[in-house]
Structure 1
């Protein structure tokens, strides 16, 4: 999503320099004057690629610390006398086959769309760099 933000600004070189200097994308405005928060970016992407919102919601929990991490990494133990919880690192072998297929499919779709975006940016960056020759 943050790479997609590059296509929304009026001055790509300025955007690149600001990011390189540590500025957060959420504090930068697009060409229409909108702050490029994650919410704004995924809504824009969902308009271009219907279904992106669902894909984002299904996968972002594994990127940002969330309840998905807690679900996979917590064992509930009830020995009859007391209830305990144990937090650990989960192994992918513990995931159901349907979860594995779902995550693999979502990552395939993300990779496919990312490839399209990157290929377009490659052409844009070539044009941008020609300005400095």
Structure 2
């Protein structure tokens, strides 16, 4: 039964000619796939010609570009939610008169906590600012083209 299940899952995995673009392929191979030695043996049997190796390089390039495109798409979809969350947090600070975390850290926290928060803000904030500027410029460009 385990062999049949493995065969069925591997058939599902490779049913499309674009199997290399499936993000779940490494997970399925880790769960039910063969060892590296077996995979290398199978690879070497059928992949000794130059055109075949070139096509594999093309496939890897397509997969890499696809992964970056996927991440960019997810980022584009989810960015407005993050921006909206920042606006809500700002409004909640104004309404509740709560002290923002960075201000509270100056008076309450230990030096280690300050370093941890500073590091998080230094690494995340430029990303947020960059996407905020890009998002804003896209809105300005779209509105100027419609008028």
Richer in strand (by share): 1
Q: Is the TM value for this pair above 0.5?
A: no
The TM-score range, normalised by the shorter chain, is 0.3 to 0.5
